[in-house]
Amino acid sequence: MRDLPILHRIENTVAILILTAMASMPILEVVTRELFGGGIAGSIPVVQHLVLSITLLGAALAARSDRNLAMSTSSFLNQPWKSRMGVFTAFLACGVTACLFIASIQLTMIDHEYGDLISFGIPVWVFTAMMPIGFFIILVRMIRHASSHTFGQWIAAAGIAVPLIFWLMPDQIVSSLLIPTGVLLLIGTALGIPIFTAIGGAALLLFVGEGTPVSAVPGEAYRMSTSPMLPAIPLFTFAGYILAEGGSSRRLLQFFSALIGWIPGGLAIVVTLVLAFFTPLTGASGITILAMGGLLLPMMVKANYNESTAVGLVTVSGSIGVLFPPSLPVILYAYYAEVALDKLFVAGILPGVVLVAAVAAWGAWRGWFEGAERTRFNGHELLVALWNAKWEILLPFIILISIFGGFATLVEAAALTVLYAIVIECLVFRELSFFRDGTRIAAESATMIGGFMIILGMALGLTNYLVIAQIPMHALHWIQTVIESPLWFLLMINLLLIVVGALMDIYSAIIVIVPLIAPMAAAYGIDPVHMGVIFLANSQLGYLMPPMGENLFLSAYRFDQPLMRIYRYTLPYVGILLVTVLLITYWPDLTLWLPRVVGL
3-state secondary structure 321-368: CCCCCCCHHHHHHHHHHCCCHHHHHHHHHHHHHHHHHHHHHHHHHHHH
**428 has a pLDDT exceeding 70:** yes
Interatomic CA distance for residues 502 and 352, integer angstroms: 20
Peptide bond into 547 cis (omega under 30): yes
Torsion-angle region of residue 433: left (phi > 0), alpha (psi -120 to 50) or beta? beta
As a whole number of angstroms, the longest Cα–Cα distance in the chain is: 79
117, pLDDT greater than 60: yes
Residue 102 CB burial class (10 angstroms; 0-12, 13-18, ≥19): buried
CA–CA gap between residue 209 and residue 11 (Å, rounded)? 37
- DSSP structural state of residue 510: H
Partners of 194 in the β-ladder: 70
Q: Which of 51-55, 58-62, 208-212 has the lowest mean pLDDT?
A: 208-212
Residue 46 to residue 526: CA distance in whole angstroms:
38
Instruction: With a cut of 70, say whether residue 319 has pLDDT above it.
Output: yes
Residue pair 284/451 in contact (Cβ under 8 Å)? The answer is no
> Going by C-beta distance under 8 Å and a sequence separation of 6 or more, which residues neighbour residue 557?
290
How do residues 186-231 score in pLDDT, each as one tens digit? 888 878 788 888 888 888 888 888 777 888 888 888 877 777 777 8
Reduced to 3 states (helix: H, G, I; strand: E, B; else coil), residue 266 is helix
> Taking 80 as the threshold, does the pLDDT of residue 49 lie above it?
yes
251-306 residue pLDDT tens? 888 888 888 888 888 888 888 888 888 777 765 556 677 667 777 788 888 888 88
Q: What is the pTM of this model?
A: 0.80
pLDDT of residue 528: 93
| Contact between 99 and 214 (Cβ < 8 Å) | yes
Contacts by residues 200-203 (CB-CB < 8 Å, ≥ 24 positions apart): 200/96, 200/100, 200/458, 200/461, 200/462, 201/92, 201/95, 201/96, 201/99, 202/462, 203/458, 203/461, 203/462, 203/464, 203/465
Is residue 176 very low, low, confident or very high in pLDDT (cuts 50, 70, 90)?
confident
- Separation in Å, CA 401 to CA 237, 328, 408, 414, 505: 20, 17, 9, 12, 30
C-alpha span between 52 and 223 (Å, rounded): 9
Q: Are 356 and 567 in contact (CB under 8 A)?
A: no
pLDDT of residue 579 exceeding 90: yes
What single string gives the DSSP state of each residue in 117-181? B-STT-BHHHHHTHHHHHHHHHHHHHHHHH-SSHHHHHHHHGGGGHHHHHHHS-HHHHHHHHHHH
Beta bridge partners of 123: 117
List the end-to-end C-alpha distance of the chain, in Å, as a whole number: 57
Return the pLDDT at 4: 67
